[in-house]
Amino acid sequence: MKQMVTNMLAERGVRLTDVAALVYALQQPYQPRLTLADCLASVASVLEKREVQYALLTGITIDTLAEQGLLAEPLQSVIAQDEPLYGIDEVLALSITNVYGTIGLTNFGYLDKTKMGVLATINDNPHAVHTFLDDLVAGLAAAASARLAHNGWRATD
Amino acid sequence: MKQMVTNMLAERGVRLTDVAALVYALQQPYQPRLTLADCLASVASVLEKREVQYALLTGITIDTLAEQGLLAEPLQSVIAQDEPLYGIDEVLALSITNVYGTIGLTNFGYLDKTKMGVLATINDNPHAVHTFLDDLVAGLAAAASARLAHNGWRATD
Amino acid sequence: MKQMVTNMLAERGVRLTDVAALVYALQQPYQPRLTLADCLASVASVLEKREVQYALLTGITIDTLAEQGLLAEPLQSVIAQDEPLYGIDEVLALSITNVYGTIGLTNFGYLDKTKMGVLATINDNPHAVHTFLDDLVAGLAAAASARLAHNGWRATD
Amino acid sequence: MKQMVTNMLAERGVRLTDVAALVYALQQPYQPRLTLADCLASVASVLEKREVQYALLTGITIDTLAEQGLLAEPLQSVIAQDEPLYGIDEVLALSITNVYGTIGLTNFGYLDKTKMGVLATINDNPHAVHTFLDDLVAGLAAAASARLAHNGWRATD
């Protein structure tokens, strides 16, 4: 299932190295010797969690159906236009972030607001529906950062 | 939009009076003079919240697509079989319950485990997919109960 | 820190075997060959999570301060009387339950409502303040059950 | 109780106008005719929610006890040093933000990371313990922004 989710992300324009780059930008200031390979390994580890896989699977499926115009109204319009009051995308992203505790919350919000790196690329594509994808990817990067923070701490505990 | 969501619930076999009956069972022991009409009014009030409408809309749409076999695999099988480790239905239900604070959490879990009233009817239908619906209805009843608890308290404050 | 939290629980009247008994009652119907020792091992594993330790530490400290009358008003009265609209105890418990995903939510609510096993003992003690403790222990048992559910699933994956 | 919480915030260095200024910075780009008075009214309205009052009351009480060195170890050190892996402050803040739905999540994380306005003042005070306060104030501003977003939407609905 992990491979399937990784493939779905790639088809939607997000490689795991793109997510790792977000993790590096978030976490390297606090863990100076961190490498991009460490970040990639952390993203891969988060992707093994069933809860994370299901959140990604569900959100990307909804995005894709909306892109193909296959959702019933009014949900079709709400998702296709990324209606600002629709918060279910954040709800799903939060279930990813929570897997490594609430310390990921701040990073999730920061990424979602500033749209760094691959998040800008996703968001600026006018032909695709990425209502869920940008939040989910921000949540994934936040969880992988929280995981590194917990592990770094444990290493010196 | 509230009317549209009410209609969707009815099409899926849940009338607002069914939800009100759950609220009455939960809350009447603590507020003895509570009537079924009070409970129905509380359910109707919760249904005016945009967050609640979007959660119901999203979950019921996914159930319906799964029932029609229109979701891509592996999500189609996960939803159609109500895979026990799939927790996104609970995540959506929680976003309903939270609208009146965390005191609704206990009632949500209790309803979801005991499957009282309409929840049993929904759950026992072998021809329908109600993976999201039972959790969402439990969340709606829990939120309407929490609203009554908050209001009852305020009345004597 | 895990040993310290285990000791704090014991001082407040909760042994890990009491929590394991709750886990067994929740999970054995679904995993018939489960033993009490498996449940105890799962509780011990959940207690290694930093997020879980901090939630227990914070909640038990507040309970103890309230028991000694050391909190400033109005919080002192709210906690000492377990005011029904106070939901921060549920919030902390949820941060424990979430560590193994949202599938634990239902069990948390069920335990918190039915007050099985050690939860009844805690709750019926008129000389102690256990406003946070009962929710935290329910959250811990729910998380340990969710962990077993995830692992059982993985075993056959 | 609302007045009591307002006073506690003021004693800890946070006036409601400071929170309103954060709301204005977040929300004015999307609602150009918004005034600081609108933002202040929204903050005041959020403060009427019982859940919000209890979260503020609990968090500020813990900060104050830690500042006076009155918490038992190890919690005393964890809070006094604002240990980065301690996430209970975010958990409490989230229970504030959630009162107006999950659309506030992004703004909460952004404020918590960038430490705008009064959040910088709070955070830079070396003589005070504001482990909970900065998160709670960010959560309060995020909830008041979400409330304005929901209401603005309704106005044109």
H, E, C per residue of chain A? CHHHHHHHHHHCCCCHHHHHHHHHHHHCCCCCCCCHHHHHHHHHHHCCCHHHHHHHHHHHHHHHHHHCCCCCCCHHHHHHCCCCCCCHHHHHHHHHHHHHCCCHHHHHHHHHHHCCCHHHHHHHCCCCCCCCHHHHHHHHHHHHHHHHHHHHHHHCC
Higher pLDDT, B12 or B125: B12
List pLDDT tens digits, range D46-83: 999 999 999 999 999 999 999 999 999 999 999 999 88
d(CA D131, CA D122): 10
Structure tokens at A131: 């209502």
Q: Is A55's CB within 8 Å of B85's CB?
A: no
Please report residues of C whose CB lies closer than 8 A to that of B82.
none
Task: Please judge whether B54 and A85 are an interchain contact, meaning their C-beta atoms are less than 8 angstroms apart.
Answer: yes
Q: Does D2 touch chain B (CB under 8 A)?
A: no
User: For residue B157, what pLDDT is reported?
Assistant: 32
Please report which confidence band the pLDDT of residue A60 belongs to, taking 50, 70 and 90 as the band edges: very high
> Which of B4, B74, B87 minimises the CB distance to A51?
B87
How many Å apart are CA A105 and CA A93, to the nearest integer? Answer: 10
Mean residue pLDDT across chain C: 91
Interface check for A98 against chain C (CB to CB < 8 A): the answer is yes
Query: What pLDDT, on the 0 to 100 scale, is given for residue A125?
Result: 85
Query: In chain D, what residues touch B150 (CB-CB under 8 Å)?
Result: 50
B95 or C16, greater pLDDT: C16
Tokens of D43: 């903050």
* Locus of tokens 């603590």: B30
ipTM: 0.89
Is residue C108 within 8 Å of C139, Cβ to Cβ? yes
Q: Confidence class of residue A32 from pLDDT cuts 50, 70 and 90?
A: very high
Per the CB < 8 A criterion, the answer to whether A132 and A89 are in contact is yes
Q: Indicate the pTM of the whole model.
A: 0.90
- With cut-offs at 50, 70 and 90, classify the pLDDT of residue A154: very low
Q: What is the DSSP string of D80-91?
A: HTT-TT--HHHH
Q: With contacts defined as CB-CB under 8 Å, which chain B residues touch C91? A: 102
Evaluated on CA atoms D44, A102, C150, C135, the torsion sign reads negative
Q: Could you tell me if B109 and B151 are in contact, meaning their C-beta atoms sit under 8 angstroms apart?
A: no
Q: How far is CA B39 from CA A95, B20, B96, in A?
A: 31, 5, 17
pLDDT of residue C82: 86
pLDDT digits (tens, 9 = 90+) for C73-125: 999 999 999 888 899 999 999 889 988 888 888 899 999 989 999 999 998 88
